[in-house]
Amino acid sequence: MGALRKTDTEKGHPTQSVGVSPATDGPTVAGKCAPEPAALAAAADRGFDAVELYLERDHLDALEETVEVVGGAAVSAASVHTPHVTPEEHEYYELTDRLAVELDAYLVLHSKYVMHVFAPDVEAIGFDAAHGHENNTGASVMHLEEMILARENDLVLDTAHLYTAEREYQDALEYLLSTYPDQIGLIHLTDGTRRNDGIPFGDGEIDLAATVAAIRESAFDGPIVLEVSQDTQADALAVFEDYWAD
């Protein structure tokens, strides 16, 4: 297996380095935090070189300041996550897109709406950054195919959200990874139960070793965001590294 890579330096596409593959170079592994100086410094201290930015409206209202803060941080932005707003608040989707372009980061689209029947409305806003729609809690593979993938849009695959939707979770995961590797732009790797997600690695019901193995053996080559609370991200990184090396 390839060596673990916690960041990309030379990029043609925000999610992969030029001329490398997961078999030779390993994935970009990112933490997650707000685009604020203390949070970005803490992510670096936890061992990350890259993060996904969790955004609130005020970060985007002060877009130039946010770009400056992230640009001066010890970690780079692998991805930026829209605030949890409705599609009607299209200005915040547009601002997040601008931020993603400025930072050469992948754009994660996520709305307050539970089902993805509104994904075409979000897509119609128009985006310049490479982007994908995050699967919501309870969204089945069939629903994701009909509303996102069959429309030739990209998917941000959240493992715990998929676990809440599919009784045969591992089969569903492997199906998505094998059928749509070029349309999965980023993975949110997280533990969970049928009712809760984002809990510390090992405290949930998901077989994380099998999940990481499925990702490693697939053709997926985008970033992997460890989506757990900040105080457990260092532990999650250590667990991930062990599973990736197996």
Q: Is the residue at 137 inside a domain?
A: yes
Q: Is the residue at 125 inside a domain?
A: yes
Distance in angstroms (rounded) separating the CA atoms of residues 158 and 179: 16
Largest pairwise CA distance in the chain? 45
pLDDT of residue 114: 66
Instruction: Give the residue from 104, 102, 66 showing the smallest Cα distance to 83.
Output: 66
What number is the average pLDDT over the span 97-108?
98
Does the pTM of the predicted model rise above 0.85? yes
Q: Average per-residue pLDDT in the chain?
A: 90
Beta-carbon neighbour count of residue 179 at 10 Å? Answer: 13
Under DSSP, the state recorded for 149 is G
Distance in angstroms (rounded) separating the CA atoms of residues 21 and 11: 13
Beta-carbon neighbour count of residue 12 at 10 Å? Answer: 10
The tokens 């596409």 sit on which residue? 13
Distance in angstroms (rounded) separating the CA atoms of residues 100 and 169: 31
pLDDT at 124 over 50: yes
- Say how many domains are in the chain: 1
**Paired tokens of 109:** 């689209």
The neighbouring-strand residues paired with 32 are: 52
Q: Is the residue at 106 inside a domain?
A: yes
- Structural Rg of the chain based on CA atoms: 17
Amino acid at 64: E
Interhelix angle 208-217/233-245, nearest 10 degrees: 60
Q: Is the residue at 127 inside a domain?
A: yes
Under DSSP, the state recorded for 118 is G
Q: Is the residue at 13 inside a domain?
A: no
Beta-strand relationship, 16-17 and 11-13: antiparallel
Q: What percent of the chain has pLDDT over 70?
A: 89
Q: Is the residue at 10 inside a domain?
A: no
pLDDT, one tens digit per residue, over 172-212 is 999 999 999 999 999 999 999 999 998 999 999 999 999 99
Instruction: Give the residue from 94, 93, 137 showing the smallest Cα distance to 116.
Output: 137
Query: Which CATH number goes with the domain that contains 181?
Result: 3.20.20.150
**Paired tokens of 137:** 């809690």
Q: Is the residue at 2 inside a domain?
A: no
pLDDT of residue 125: 94
Containing structural domain, residue 121: 24-245
Q: Is the residue at 18 inside a domain?
A: no
The neighbouring-strand residues paired with 108 are: 81, 132
pLDDT of residue 6: 45
Amino acid at 107: L
